[in-house]
Amino acid sequence: MTIIVTGGAGFIGGNFVHYMLKKYPQDRIVCIDKLTYAGNMSTLAGVMDNENFKFYKTDICDRVAICEIFETEKPDVVINFAAESHVDRSIENPEVFLQTNILGTQVLMDACRKYGIGRYHQVSTDEVYGDLPLDRPDLFFTEETPIHTSSPYSSSKAGADLLVLAYHRTYGLPVTISRCSNNYGPYHFPEKLIPLMIANALNDKALPVYGEGLNVRDWLYVEDHCKAIDLIVRKGRVGEVYNVGGHNEKRNIDIVKIILKELGKPESLITYVADRKGHDMRYAIDPTKISRELGWLPETKFEDGIKKTIAWYLENREWWENIISGEYQNYYEKMYGDRK
């Protein structure tokens, strides 16, 4: 089988490439990535020599180039991880989110139609459901929860999801969609909460907590997400959406305190800063459908996953130090410089 993985130089796509090449050594993985600020070839260094792995530096919005790759590689399956993924950046500059996340999805699906691909899988997010109130811990997102987005990022992901379902209904394209909660683990870009807090704590820098730090996210170890996608692609029902998450809700402030404790750093590093605009309060996934239909359950407990993640950042300082020493410094100054 030949699988096209877009966005494979990013966090989840990179973990997926490693996971798949190890689990299915007979399958070919063809990675397409534009290498935006979020894409890192060092994430793929360990697989570049694998004869079953091929890398194309290509924009998923480039219709001609995408069709050429499909023509050459003749994929059986396409899994689309490629996206602009950071909510804060989408608030600053929405346009590229609409281009990549919606129009890029369209280009990939058009190529799937043209070349008769067996499965198109869209990697989506729980953010398409909007948020839940903090005082209703009994409420969870199911696949029937209405789409109700808050940020340009989540709106672009929701737009793509609707387009994917429309391509299924209108053209019969064999699609599936997964909507996952917050991931954490190796190769997570340091603009996101967990790696940002680990990197800042290790550098004895202030840890910028938005608002009061009471927002809740439902954290899933990235390898559990990779396993869910693999299952959905192989055994999921065409035309269906599957929520992925593991009932692991934590307040931001509690995550930050866990990281500080693990690293032996003082809580005095915590700095409360201006809240994110339109900040979603709580995400919480009900994974009943994927558990019942496909037998998926998260395997990594948060207490173990966060320890493994911190150990990875300690052992792979070069990976993230290279990132935060470059253009990222301008981003950090713009986002956090005078944020009070």
Is residue 158 within 8 Å of residue 126, measured between CB atoms?
no
Q: How far is the CB of 171 from ligand DAU (least distance, A)?
A: 27
210 binds, among ligand NAD, ligand DAU, none (CB under 5 to 8 A by kind): ligand DAU
Question: CA angle, 281 as apex, 299 and 324 as ends, to 5°?
Answer: 70
Burial 11-28 (b: 16+ CB within 10 A, else e): bbbbbbbbbbbeeeeeeb
DSSP codes, 10-43: SHHHHHHHHHHHHH-TTSEEEEEE---TT--GGG
230 binds, among ligand NAD, ligand DAU, none (CB under 5 to 8 A by kind): none
Among 18, 20, 29, 34, binds ligand NAD (CB under 6 A): 34
Q: How far is the CB of 12 from ligand DAU (least distance, A)?
A: 9
Q: How far is the CB of 58 from ligand DAU (least distance, A)?
A: 21
Residue nearest to ligand DAU (CB): 125
3-state secondary structure of 259: helix
**Is residue 39 close enough to count as binding ligand NAD by CB under 6 A?**
yes
**Is residue 208 close enough to count as binding ligand DAU by CB under 6 A?**
yes
**Is residue 189 close enough to count as binding ligand NAD by CB under 6 A?**
yes
Please pick, among 153, 221, 242, 283, the residue that the annotation labels catalytic: 153
Q: Is 120 one of the catalytic residues?
A: no
Residue nearest to ligand NAD (CB): 10
**Is residue 52 close enough to count as binding ligand NAD by CB under 6 A?**
no
Q: Is 129 one of the catalytic residues?
A: no
DSSP conformational letter for 60: T
Is residue 202 within 8 Å of residue 313, measured between CB atoms?
yes
Cβ neighbours of residue 81 closer than 8 Å, sequence gap 6 or more: 5, 6, 7, 8, 10, 12, 13, 16, 123
Cβ neighbours of residue 89 closer than 8 Å, sequence gap 6 or more: 97, 153, 191
Among 3, 4, 10, 102, binds ligand NAD (CB under 6 A): 10
Instruction: For 114-162, give the secondary structure using H, E and C.
Output: HHCCCEEEEEEEHHHHCCECCCCCCCCECCCCCCCCCCHHHHHHHHHHH
* CA–CA separation, 289 and 241 (whole Å): 9
Q: How far is the CB of 165 from ligand DAU (least distance, A)?
A: 18
**Is residue 100 close enough to count as binding ligand DAU by CB under 6 A?**
no
**Is residue 192 close enough to count as binding ligand DAU by CB under 6 A?**
yes
Q: Is 233 exposed, middle or buried (0-12, 13-18, 19+ CB in 10 A)?
A: buried
**Chain residues 245-264 in contact with ligand DAU, contact rule CB under 6 A:** 252
**Is residue 182 close enough to count as binding ligand NAD by CB under 6 A?**
yes
Q: Is 126 one of the catalytic residues?
A: yes
* String of contacts with ligand NAD for each residue 71-110, x by CB under 6 A: ----------xxxxx--------------x---x------
Binding site for ligand NAD (CB under 6 A): 6-7, 9-13, 32-36, 38-39, 59-61, 81-85, 100, 104, 123, 125, 157, 180, 182-183, 189
For the annotated catalytic residues, the residue numbers are 126-127, 153
